[in-house]
Amino acid sequence: MPVTDETELREILAHDRVAVVGCSSTPGKAAHDVPRYLHRQGYDVVPVNPYAEEILGRQAYDSLADVPGEVDIVDVFRPSEEVSGIVDEALDRDETAVIWLQLGIHDDEAVARAEAAGRQVVEGLCMEPTHRRLLG
- What is the Cα–Cα distance from 95 to 70, expressed in whole angstroms? 6
Dihedrals phi, psi of 71, to nearest 5 degrees: -130, 120
pLDDT, position 102:
94
Q: State how far the alpha carbon of 66 is from the alpha carbons of 8, 50, 71, 88, 133, in Å.
A: 29, 10, 11, 14, 32
- What is the Cα–Cα distance from 69 to 79, expressed in whole angstroms? 26
Q: What is the pTM of this model?
A: 0.96
DSSP state letter for 87: H
pLDDT, position 73:
98
Its sign, for the CA torsion 77, 83, 88, 91, is positive
- What is the Cα–Cα distance from 94 to 133, expressed in whole angstroms? 30
Residue 61: how many other CB atoms lie within 10 Å: 20
As a whole number of Å, the CA-based R_g of the chain is 13
115 lies in some domain: yes
Which positions ≥6 away from 25 have C-beta within 8 Å? 32, 49, 52, 55, 60
128 lies in some domain: yes
pLDDT 10s digit of each residue in the chain, 136 long?
888 899 999 999 999 999 999 999 999 999 999 999 999 999 999 999 999 999 999 999 999 999 999 999 999 999 999 999 999 999 999 999 999 999 999 999 999 999 999 999 999 999 999 999 999 7
- What is the Cα–Cα distance from 32 to 111, expressed in whole angstroms? 24
Domain CATH for 101: 3.40.50.720
28 lies in some domain: yes
96 lies in some domain: yes
pLDDT, position 136:
79
70 lies in some domain: yes
DSSP state letter for 118: T
Pairing of strands 58-59, 54-55: antiparallel
Q: Considering its fold, how many domains does the chain have in total?
A: 1
1 lies in some domain: no
